[in-house]
Structure 1
């Protein structure tokens, strides 16, 4: 995978921080470029209010993405990561970004017991439909 690409889904959660750290270590081992992706959608409920009229979901998503990458990897390492903010469904955005990549990495909630057998909706969809190998980083 030398000089390849690893795509990782980032949503600001601790699960995505763990996935990002795992992907960064893998990129370091293989020489691959690292791309962090987040997605946003307009809510289907409610209307515009004075508060939501000035809310820019793309700008806010990009801010969360940058802050999460910096928190996970540090400012210097974060500067080496390509950041992508996509409008739309998270799973579909990840699948689109992964086209031509070598690996797709996503986080999953760290449930225990019976719930441990169930992946989250995004990770499940990605595992079932990805055009490349997928690594799902589970909880501690």
Structure 2
């Protein structure tokens, strides 16, 4: 039975996000909902780039984030499955970016229990915690057991 929306999964290249990606792919196969993989990026607090000596003039964080997303999908799923997944690079806070994409017709939002920005010892990272409290659709948090 085909679903009525999409499944949004947050991917940042961390092992928990890759586990969430694999879980979301299986769920998509079960429900027939299309899958959208999302990565976000943002500049740290004001002016840091000007203080970094030797930053290349062609430095493009959006392109880099897109490459991390593409590489994560291909290395985890292979080229054929990756081709069937919509990819979205967002500028801004990860939790807000995922909520914005989920608000655009998602039936489910899937994230790992922590990413690169969190403390590994925590049970649930700040993004996952925010999403479980504020997302416009059900949220699945895939736990990293390693």
Match of 1:79 in 2: 83
Distance, in Å, in 2 between the alignment partners of 1:62 and 1:30 is 27
More moved, 39-48 vs 26-35: 39-48
Q: Secondary structure at the match of 1:36?
A: strand
Give the TM-score normalised by the residue count of structure 1.
0.89
Distance, in Å, in 2 between the alignment partners of 1:138 and 1:82 is 24
Give the alignment partner of residue 49 of structure 2, picking from 26, 30, 47.
47
1:52 positional shift: 4.8
1:47 positional shift: 3.5
Match of 1:25 in 2: 26
Q: Which runs of 4+ in 1 moved over 6 A?
A: none
1:121 positional shift: 0.4
RMSD over aligned CA atoms reads 1.7
1:126 positional shift: 0.7
1:1-140 aligned at under 5 Å gives the runs: 2-44=3-45, 46-48=48-50, 49-99=53-103, 100-109=105-114, 118-140=123-145
1:139 positional shift: 1.1
Give the TM-score normalised by the residue count of structure 2.
0.86
1:73 positional shift: 1.0
Runs (5+) with no aligned partner, structure 2:
116-120
Q: Deviations over 1:1-42 (max 9, x none)?
A: 625210000001011000000000000011110000000001
Corresponding pairs, count: 135
